[in-house]
Amino acid sequence: MKRTATLLGATGLIGGHILELLQNDSYFEEVRVIVRRPLEIAHPKVKVVVIDFADEFQFKAAMEGSDLVFCAIGTTQKKVKGDKKLYRSIDFDIPINAAKHSIKYGCKQFLIVSSLGADSSKRGFYLKLKGEVEEALIAKMHPTVGFHSLSIFRPSLLLGDRKEKRLAEDIGQFFGKVLKFLMPGKSKPIEGENVAKAMVAAAKLNKKGVEIYHYKEMKELVG
């Protein structure tokens, strides 16, 4: 059965690769891309939906008809100018609201990009927040009135060309590539494209329960 996939975060490194993969995969009959600014995509099975994520009515309506949701949305301290409240509204509120609204329409599968080390008990803002997102999504697992399949992807350093240049990440990518063989399994850097490929592969497996993917598991999915 062909499915309708909804994508959040299509303009990012991983999201961009997910979009390209979904467009060219016959398993997905329709791809709904939810964004806050207009996005020009000339593909017959892609539908771009522009919404105000703070508007519950718009957000809920945008999630109708989703068979599965890919969430690759995320921001940076630079983009929000250090505003942690704004940061949380993007990295926490958007994924959790997407989950809540899609469940109301019967969606049973959710796939999300998290981070290596995500843990709600951590003191650091970023990893603590990612852990809180994971916990809130896991709480929405239910065989009849919630998700039956939740896939969480925890990459370490991401490799790939971003539209937005980040000096620290460029430096990290350089050393990550050079020293990759010295890094322990979960900490190895991974190409954003491979994370996207792993997510699409996991979507087709549609395993019941919560699956957490680190470097090794993502590379196995890619093959």
Which residue numbers are catalytic?
Answer: 126, 130
Pair 3, 27: CB distance under 8 Å: yes
What's 187's DSSP letter?
A: G
Pair 143, 104: CB distance under 8 Å: no
- Which tokens hold the place of 106? 């019967």
- Which tokens hold the place of 210? 């919560």
Residue whose token pair is 């019967």: 106
- Which tokens hold the place of 56? 């519950």
Backbone angles phi, psi at 97, to 5 degrees: -70, -35
- One-letter identity of residue 193: E
Other CB atoms closer than 10 Å to residue 77's CB: what's the count?
12
> Which residue(s) pair with 119 in the sheet?
none
The three-state secondary structure class of 182 is helix
CA–CA separation, 13 and 217 (whole Å): 20
Q: Cβ contacts of residue 65 below 8 Å, gap of 6+?
A: 4, 32, 105
